[in-house]
Amino acid sequence: MNKFILHNHDLLREDSFSLKINNRSFLYSDGFFESIKVINSRCFNLETHFNRITKTAELFKMKISFSLSELQSLLDNLIVKNKTVGGSVRMVFYRDSEGKYFPKENKMCFVAETETSLNGFNINKNGLNLGIFTDIRKDKSKYSNCKTTNAVISVLASIYAKENNWDDCLLLNTENKIIESSNSNLFIVKGDRIITPPITDGCVDGTMRSFIKNQCDVEEESISKEDLFSADEVFLTNAIKGVRWAESFNEKKYQSHKVARLVFDKLNT
């Protein structure tokens, strides 16, 4: 089926759309992206996504041209047009301008597409086996909190995980603190405490992370490798897959995922 995509305010056939060779996201990674879960043909947690879009656009000095209600209407139309009951919307935002490093203007454009997958969230039956990626470390910077179109660290970490037969790799910041995985925010459980790294450590400011912080009693604290070895549970979260629990980190085996299950249940209430 030839799907529809959304280019700014226009619904277009997917095969009729192409980006120009001088697109700034392609040339300079001058952009960012957003992945939004679709459940029963509606965007889940959209206001939090919109707040992050607005925050990132401001940080990137791009001029946003739509409100939350306008974005919801645009995405609803795309979802209905593609008959997407369950799945996701991926949006890529880029600066639409001529120029090289210095842009002549700061107009922001976007492209959105849908993908059909699970209608809702499922928790994983088998625990994740996690490793650690040390070749590149993320800066402790406000830009590290954004989902930029330069995702080379996540790409290389994912390749490294595959090479070592892990399900995912954890990432370090420049102070050797563990901050997230290649595609998810990180939570650990110690006794009755749920802990996640603060965004000042350089992790992505995840929308599912924010949702869980609003639903559960979560403490923000830097996490070391030693904390992973002494934790009772480890779980990962992201906007599309929800909550996934870990069975192991390197040689450490986790005996429980009870808290991860309780957190997952919050998604379905």
Q: What architecture does CATH give domain 128-266?
A: Alpha-Beta Barrel (3.20)
Closest CA to 190 of 232, 248, 158, 154: 232
Alpha helices in 4-95 (DSSP H): 24-28, 46-59, 68-81
% of the chain surpassing 90 pLDDT: 90
Question: What's the pLDDT band for 2 if we cut at 50, 70, 90?
Answer: confident
Give the per-residue SS3 of 85-151.
CCEEEEEEEEECCCECCCECCCEEEEEEEEEECCCCCCCCCCCEEEEEEEEEEECCCHHHHCCECCC
Q: Which residues contact 125 (CB under 8 A, 6 or more apart)?
A: none
Within 10 A of 74 (CB to CB), how many other CB atoms are there? 19
| Tokens read off for 147 | 């989902």
CATH tag, 4-116: 3.30.470.10
Q: Give the mean model confidence (pLDDT) for residues 32-36.
A: 98
59: left (phi over 0), alpha (psi -120 to 50) or beta: alpha
Distance CA 31, CA 103 (A): 13
**Res. 1: pLDDT tops 70:** no
Look-up: residue for tokens 């070749």? 135
Span 43-62, pLDDT tens digits: 999 999 999 999 999 999 99
% of the chain surpassing 70 pLDDT: 99
Determine how β-strand 128-138 pairs with β-strand 242-249. Answer: parallel
- Report the side by side order of strands in the sheet with 31-39: 10-13, 4-7, 108-116, 87-95, 31-39, 42-43
**Res. 260: pLDDT tops 90:** yes
So what's the pLDDT on residue 19?
Answer: 85
The amino acid at residue 177 is: K
Kindly report the pTM of this predicted structure. Answer: 0.95
Q: Which residues contact 70 (CB under 8 A, 6 or more apart)?
A: none
List the domain boundaries for the chain: 4-116, 128-266
**Res. 269: pLDDT tops 80:** no
Neighbour-count burial of 195, counting CB atoms closer than 10 A to its CB (0-12 exposed, 13-18 middle, 19+ buried): middle
Query: What's the chain's average pLDDT?
Result: 96
Look-up: residue for tokens 């979260």? 237
Return the percent helix, strand and coil in the chain, to nearest 5: 30, 35, 35
The phi, psi pair for 235, rounded to 5°, reads -145, 155
| Tokens read off for 177 | 């603190």
Alpha helices in 223-257 (DSSP H): 225-230
Question: What's the pLDDT band for 157 if we cut at 50, 70, 90?
Answer: very high
Question: What's the pLDDT band for 172 if we cut at 50, 70, 90?
Answer: very high
Span 187-235, pLDDT tens digits: 999 999 999 999 999 999 999 999 999 999 999 999 999 999 999 999 9
Span 92-110, pLDDT tens digits: 999 988 888 888 889 999 9
Distance CA 7, CA 177 (A): 39
